[in-house]
Chains A and B, each alone.
Chain A
């Protein structure tokens, strides 16, 4: 079975432009997460989707960031009016369901975003 896939693998954009990053989770996984890793930093939680529940957006750094998950599967992370500090690797992960015990998160390869 396929793992988590993300596209594009690399994205170079100019400051002020909007970008969309895509994540295809593992089939059947109800939980989907977005993280980003800036240079020299750990993974920073951005947003979390679980089934049909309202997403947890507590990690989004500004209102320029938004994400949606259509049909409980594919997710798109949108960054509007990109800034240079948005440059990072954006990672998507999915898991079966958090439930009350730990469920392993499977990560995609990430999208490397460079804002010039």
Chain B
């Protein structure tokens, strides 16, 4: 039973336009949500996070929105650049219990076309 779901396995966007990557979750005990970016043959790298007490966090071209009532978060990249082409993983951390391990979605492969 997946607790973190990324229902779109791939997304293609034109350079300069907005990329919107979506993520849904089922566990209301998650306290942090994170986005990781992964290039082929490399480990995931942290991109941006948001605490469950906030609804928006912005860092340069990247903004993460959290809708707790809908158990939904999204990552907006604007403007999209060809170097943004990678697999993006949504992840969540549970309050209490085992401190630290993250639960990941299956990822969305973003392709930004010049």
Contact = CB atoms under 8 A, between A and B. Distances in A.
A104 B46 contact: yes
Max count, chain A CB within 10 A of own CB: residue among B4, B43, B98? B43
A48 B99 CA distance: 9
B43 A95 contact: no
A1 interface: no
B102 A105 contact: yes
A67 interface: no
B101 A48 contact: yes
Contacts of A106: 46
Contact of B99 (A98, A104, A107): A98
Nearest to B103: A45
B4 A59 contact: no
B106 interface: yes
Given A33-B101, A42-B106, 5 more contacts: A33-B102, A42-B89, A59-B101, A102-B93, A110-B43
